[in-house]
Amino acid sequence: MDWTAEAIERLKALWAEGHSTAEIGRRMGISKNAVVGKAHRLNLPARPSPIRRDAVPRPAPVPRAPRPMPVARQLPPPMLRAAPVAVAPVVAAVPAAPVVRAFPAARPRFGSRSCCWPIGEPGTSGFSFCGGEPMAGKPYCTEHAALAYVKPRDRREDAA
DNA sequence: CCCTGATTCGC
DNA sequence: GCGAATCAGG
C-alpha cells in the first residue's frame, strides 16, 4: 500500500466516520490489518476494543488456606479469602454523529495526541480534526468528549 | 463460525 | 514503515 497523503487523508476520514477497520479496508481496497496497522502508527484514536491484552493479572493465586485440621473455629471467614472481582471502569465510547460544526475549533495540528473530533465534512478539503487539548485518557477535548460519550447505542451507520 | 480491534514481528 | 499472522473478546 502506497500511503500517499491522500490515502492517509481518506483513512483518517473513514476512521473518523466510525467505520470498522474491515469496512475501511474494503473501501480502500486494502486489508483491515493494513488499516488498523496504519491507524495505529498514525496514533488515530483507538476504538473501543473488544479485547484487552493488558491488566489481566491472573485472578489472584487464591492461596488455598492451608487448613490443617477440620477445626471449625480456626478457619478464617470465607469472605476474607474470596477473590475480589475486578470491576473495569468501562466507558462505552460512541462517537455521536458529528452534525455539529459550530465551534471555533482551533486546530493546531493533528497527530500526536490531540482532540480527534472531526471538523467539517470528511473527505473534503476543509476536513480536519479539532486538535484541541484532549481530556486525560480521552481522545477528545472536554467539549467534544461531552458530545462523543453518549448513550451506548448502535454505532454503525450513524455517520453523517 | 462470524465479527471486532490490537499487537507482534519478519520483512 | 508496513501488514500478515496472531491474539482475544463478542
- For chain A, the structural domain boundaries read 5-41, 104-160
User: Is pLDDT of A37 > 50?
Assistant: yes
More confident: A132 or A57: A132
All cell numbers assigned to A5: 497523503
Q: Do residues A128 and A110 lie in contact, with contact meaning Cβ atoms separated by under 8 Å? A: yes
CA atom of A41 to C1′ atom of C6, Å: 18
User: Is pLDDT of A123 > 50?
Assistant: yes
Cβ contacts, strand B, under 7 angstroms? A 19-23, 32-33, 36-37, 39-40, 46-51, 53-54
So what's the pLDDT on residue A108?
Answer: 46
Q: What is the mean pLDDT of residues A40-46?
A: 89
Of the pLDDT bands very low, low, confident and very high (cuts 50, 70, 90), residue A126 is: low
User: Is pLDDT of A41 > 80?
Assistant: yes
Residue at A66: amino acid letter: P
Q: What percent of chain A has pLDDT over 70?
A: 48
So what's the pLDDT on residue A104?
Answer: 43
pTM of the model: 0.45
CA atom of A27 to C1′ atom of B4, Å: 17
Of the pLDDT bands very low, low, confident and very high (cuts 50, 70, 90), residue A53 is: low
Best-predicted range by mean pLDDT (A74-88, A91-105, A125-139): A125-139
User: Is pLDDT of A122 > 60?
Assistant: yes
Q: What is the mean pLDDT of residues A130-141?
A: 76
Q: Smallest CA–C1' separation from A46: which nucleotide? A: B5
User: Is pLDDT of A51 > 50?
Assistant: yes
